[in-house]
Amino acid sequence: MYKTVAILVARLIFGGVFVMAAGFKFAGMQATAGYIASAGFPFALVLAWLAAFFESVLAIAFLTGAFFSEAAIFAALYVLFLGFAFHGPSHWTGNQAEFGFFVDHFTFIAGLLFAAVHGPGQVLVAGRRTMAGRGGPKAPLGVCDREIRILPVETAFAVAGIVDN
């Protein structure tokens, strides 16, 4: 039961972080583009829109459990890029707090990699991928049938042993 609760809370945290990140970008796209441009990237407005949509897709994956492990790997790579691009060593001389921001990215990456290895858990999962469609081993990307399985919250908690059914 505790493992299930911990996994669901972690998924909510991951999803919430990316919902907030995307929401801030959508709410202030010009400001986001300005920040991206200040880091020296061309086509800052295009990159800001791409980042907002990418973060939205990550949030959906974490909250639904669909393509969870793949999303966690892509999120870890994205967070690694963000850490170096916006808080890397070139930023430390002007502001020592940037080093703390840089290190924080690695703790987030560690959690994402742990999540990628252990998966979304057994409840509240959409898009469980198997080779045989049902019950087969997990398939590599692009070589699978899709099975959508979304349990009502009450059923999911009952399965997890959190409440009596």
Segment 54-77, tens digit of pLDDT: 999 999 999 999 999 999 999 999
Rounded-to-integer distance, Cα 6 and Cα 10, Å: 6
Can you name the residues that pair with 34 across neighbouring β-strands?
Answer: none
Rounded-to-integer distance, Cα 161 and Cα 74, Å: 32
Q: What is the pLDDT along the chain (165 residues), one digit of tens a residue?
A: 888 899 999 999 999 999 999 999 999 999 999 999 999 999 999 999 999 999 999 999 999 999 999 999 999 999 999 999 999 998 888 788 989 999 999 999 999 999 999 999 887 777 555 434 444 445 444 434 444 444 455 555 554 555 444
- Helix runs in the chain, H state only: 2-27, 29-38, 44-64, 68-87, 97-118, 153-160
Tokens 């999303």 sit on residue: 71
Q: What is the pTM of this model?
A: 0.75
Domain residue ranges in the chain? 2-160
